Homo-oligomer: A and B are copies of this chain.
Amino acid sequence: MALRHAVLAALLDGEYSGYQLAKGFDIGVANFWHALPQQLYAELAKLETEGLITGREVVQEGRPNKRLFRVTDEGLAEMERFVARAAKPSFIRDDLLVKVQAVDGVAAGPVIEQLTERADMADAKIELLEKLLVKLRGGAGEDEFLRTGERVGPYLTCLRGLAFERESRDWCRRAAALLSERAAVERGRGRGAASARGDRPLG
């Protein structure tokens, strides 16, 4: 199974509702897993019937009631077994990289646009992650927190996410700039006949 351990790992931090997890999967937990709300609700229901988590109803005023979940002892034991198993190699699947791979054969304009958008999104996420890190380590400095703080797990995954987003942003900007420059050069040489599809004059 797959999502299940990511959900359990997220719930080790404390009690969360499906809705909160769905939001949280955009920031902290999104550094190691990605899931849609429907998936989370379904997985929470399954985990509860299997006794790995328990939910309690929380009555709210002015807004719908919610169910908060926490990991049971059985859930923790399942996590223990999961951690002891060999990890599968991670994998990336990224539409945008597929487009960059193909950029020499197709129009570069949309690729450049999408690289720029992605870089901006990375910037936004970097800001969020930096704030989250400050919050996680409380008053302490990073080295001190990592040596003596409790719950370094979430901090370490956030550090990984932050490094990833920074690399992503820098690469996107560099690739976008480069492709723009090449497109400009090509326009200069093309003089009406050349297209983005590599049919440059004389080959």
Q: Chain A residues in contact with chain B, CB under 8 A?
A: 2, 5-6, 8-10, 12, 29-34, 76, 79-80, 82-84, 86-107, 110-111, 114, 117-118, 121, 146-147, 150-154, 156-157, 159-160, 163-164, 167-168, 171, 175, 178-179, 181-182, 185, 198
With A83-B110, A171-B163 as contacts: A97 and B90 at CB distance below 8 Å: yes
A97-B29 Cα distance, complex, nearest whole Å: 9
* Contact in complex: B164, A102 (CB < 8 Å): no
Beyond the given pairs A104-B151, A147-B181, 6 more chain A to chain B contacts, judged by CB atoms under 8 angstroms and listed by A's residue number, are: A12-B102, A30-B91, A79-B102, A92-B92, A97-B157, A150-B198
Q: Tell me how many chains of this kind the complex includes.
A: 2
* Contact in complex: A153, B110 (CB < 8 Å): no
* Contact in complex: A92, B95 (CB < 8 Å): no
A151-B100 Cα distance, complex, nearest whole Å: 10
A3-B199 Cα distance, complex, nearest whole Å: 28
Residues in chain B near residue A182, CB distance under 8 A: 147, 152
* Contact in complex: B103, A152 (CB < 8 Å): yes
Residues in chain B near residue A152, CB distance under 8 A: 103-104, 178-179, 182
A90-B98 Cα distance, complex, nearest whole Å: 11
